[in-house]
């Protein structure tokens, strides 16, 4: 379960941002997780709820946005959001694709007081 180490790094990032902005607490943490990131949103939520206690995020609301897979077709240059994990261009049926979104996890927004 690498979600626990991800949450640990996330909480450290929150602490650092709060110190840089002279905040005493964080009230909201918003992240974006790509469907191909290998991160399970439910497990990440559980880990956040478990480890946020006694940190600057103790009372923070945790919001997860799931990012669909967006591809760029190198054949027809179409950009498409895939509805299924079928890596075929829906326009020209090419498999010469590049994933342009949906593989990573981002800290999108922090609300601090």
Closest to 31 measured CA to CA, from 46, 15, 45, 21:
45
The answer to whether the annotation marks 14 as part of a ligand binding site is no
The Cβ-side half-sphere exposure at 40, using a 13 Å CA radius, reads: 8
Min mean pLDDT across 16-20, 26-30, 73-77, 84-88 is at: 84-88
Instruction: Please list the residues that pair with 61 across neighbouring strands.
Output: 28
The answer to whether the annotation marks 57 as part of a ligand binding site is no
Is the pLDDT at 1 greater than 70? The verdict is: no
CA distance 110 to 108: 7
CA distance 100 to 3: 23
Return the pLDDT at 51: 94
Domains of the chain, first to last: 3-68+102-112 (3.30.2320.50)
Mean pLDDT of the chain: 94
% residues pLDDT > 90 (the chain): 91
CB-count burial class (<10 Å; 0-12, 13-18, 19+) for 50: exposed
Return the pLDDT at 52: 95
pLDDT bin (cut points 50, 70, 90) of residue 88 is very high
pLDDT tens for each residue of 31-59: 999 999 999 999 999 999 999 999 999 99
Closest to 92 measured CA to CA, from 72, 79, 73, 71:
73
Six token digits for residue 17: 């941002």
């Amino acid at each position: 379960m690498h979600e626990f180490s991800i949450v640990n790094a996330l909480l450290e990032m929150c602490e650092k941002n709060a110190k840089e902005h002279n905040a005493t607490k964080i009230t909201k943490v918003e992240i974006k997780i790509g469907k191909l990131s290998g991160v399970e949103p439910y497990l990440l939520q559980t880990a956040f709820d478990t480890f946020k206690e006694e940190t600057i995020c103790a009372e923070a609301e945790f919001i997860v946005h799931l990012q669909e897979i967006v591809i760029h077709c190198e054949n027809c240059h179409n950009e498409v959001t895939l509805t299924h994990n079928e890596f075929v261009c829906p326009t020209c049926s090419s498999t010469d694709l590049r994933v342009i979104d949906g593989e990573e996890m981002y800290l999108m927004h922090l609300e601090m007081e």
